[in-house]
Amino acid sequence: MVPPPPAASILDVLGNTPVVKLQHVVPEGCADVYVKLEYFSATGSYKDRMAKSMIEEAERSGRLAPHMTVVEATGGSTGSSLAFVCAVKGYPFVAHSSNAYANEKLLTMAAFGATVDITHSPTGKATADLMTHMKSKAVELSKGDGYFYTDQFSNSDALVGYRQIGHELTAQFPNGFDAFCGSFGTGGMVMAVSSVLKPIMPDIRVVLVEPEGAALLSKGQKGAHGVDGISPGFISQHVDKALYDDTQALKEEEGREMCRKLAKYEGLFVGTSSGLNIAAAIHLARELGPGKKIVTVACDTGLKYLTGSLFSE
């Protein structure tokens, strides 16, 4: 394999992440399960793609100009990625976040130079109103002169970066595959990937995944949960019923246990939403059976969750 030539910027090397087939955690008699390793990205998260596209599309349109300050409400992964992109491009960044999310993400944002405003969660978990409150603070700040609110839950520019995952998957699977599943926060990743896959693979099944305790799409249920970056307590404007076929609600602990199994048996070190994705993919693999291919995404690295209980339970 020939390595790529030197890049002019770290932003030029985002994407083209590898896909691996799971060898040990998928039971016999199931479909094959493949995982796209988005933790190979610069901050260890696929959010780098959407952060770059939101900033660069805003620059192109003139909504973001030099010396402006970028603002976002974030569970930490989007914030880390925006802080990274803003550091490279020279924009100040203000992140409205919470103690409900992994401390590693809060520290990462600060390390990239972000100002991190913390909204305290009494339970230490993401609740239905937490992100709404954080968003209202971001909106209020962005009303001032010289601020640009990226608004990840409504900004269609986020989809530009995520569509590349779909294009990469079509190249990595030239003969196609049978199902794609992924958890949703903004919903942008699954919707963007689906918009690329469905015209090419008309029979593909696309499944949105959420934690059982906050299964808003599956059951209309709001609730507290501990899976960073997904199920914010509302359905974002990105979610399009024409672009997914089913929803699947899984117990949070099933996703957490899958993280530990993946580390121990597959050598894959992933975060909680990735564990939920892969657990959902295995459910689909049981249902579809041998000869089929299921694809999902490892959203981020387990290195972002070391100070919590994920790998110590």
The answer as to whether 37 is a domain residue is yes
Q: In this predicted structure, what is the pLDDT of residue 238?
A: 85
pLDDT in the model for residue 216: 74
> Is the same domain home to 29 and 122?
no
> Edge-to-edge strands of the sheet including 115-119?
115-119, 93-98, 69-73, 147-149
Q: pLDDT under 70 in the chain at which residues? A: 221, 223-226, 228-232, 234
Same domain, 24 and 58: no
Cα–Cα distance list, 307 to 64, 90, 109 (Å): 36, 30, 16
Q: Is the dihedral of CA 295, 299, 303, 307 positive or negative?
A: negative
What's the pLDDT score for residue 231?
67
Phi, psi of 93 (to 5 degrees): -140, 130
Same domain membership, residue 52 and residue 40: no
Residues 270 and 300 in one domain: yes
- Domain boundaries, position 214: 10-45+158-305
The span from the CA of 76 to the CA of 304, in Å, is 10
Sign of the torsion formed by the C-alpha atoms of 263, 267, 273 and 275: negative
Q: Are residues 276 and 179 in the same domain?
A: yes
Is 163 found in the same domain as 38?
Answer: yes
In this structure, the answer to whether residues 203 and 71 fall within a common structural domain is no
127-167 confidence digits (pLDDT tens): 878 989 999 999 999 999 999 999 998 999 999 999 999 99
**Tell me, what CATH number does 119's domain have?**
3.40.50.1100
Q: Provide the CA 64 distance to its chain's centre, in angstroms.
A: 24
Residues whose CB falls within 8 Å of the CB of residue 234, separated by 6 or more in sequence, listed in order: 128, 131, 132, 153, 216
pLDDT score for 76: 84
Q: Are residues 119 and 212 in the same domain?
A: no
The secondary structure of the chain, three-state, reads: CCCCCCCCCHHHHCCCCCEEECCCCCCCCCCEEEEEEHHHCCCCECHHHHHHHHHHHHHHHCCCCCCCEEEEECCCHHHHHHHHHHHHHCCCEEEEEECCCCHHHHHHHHHCCCEEEEECCCCCCECCCHHHHHHHHHHHHHCCCCEEECCCCCCCHHHHHHHHHHHHHHHHCCCCCCEEEEECCCCHHHHHHHHHHHHHCCCCEEEEEEEHHHCHHHHCCCCCECCCCCCCCCCCCCCCHHHCCEEEEECHHHHHHHHHHHHHHHCCCECHHHHHHHHHHHHHHHHHCCCCEEEEEECEEHHHHCCCCCCCC
Q: What distance in Å separates the CA atoms of residue 7 and residue 22, rounded to the nearest whole number?
A: 31
Residue 152 CA to residue 81 CA, distance in Å, equals: 12
- The residue out of 111, 131, 149 marking a domain boundary is 149
In a domain, 311, yes or no: no
Q: According to the model, what pLDDT value does residue 187 have?
A: 75
Q: Give the residue from 287, 291, 286, 312 showing the smallest Cα distance to 26.
A: 286
In this structure, is residue 71 part of a structural domain?
Answer: yes
Instruction: Looking at the structure, tell me whether residues 175 and 40 fall in a common domain.
Output: yes
Q: How many CA atoms lie within 13 A of 277 on its CB side?
A: 32
Q: Are 230 and 182 in contact (CB under 8 A)?
A: no
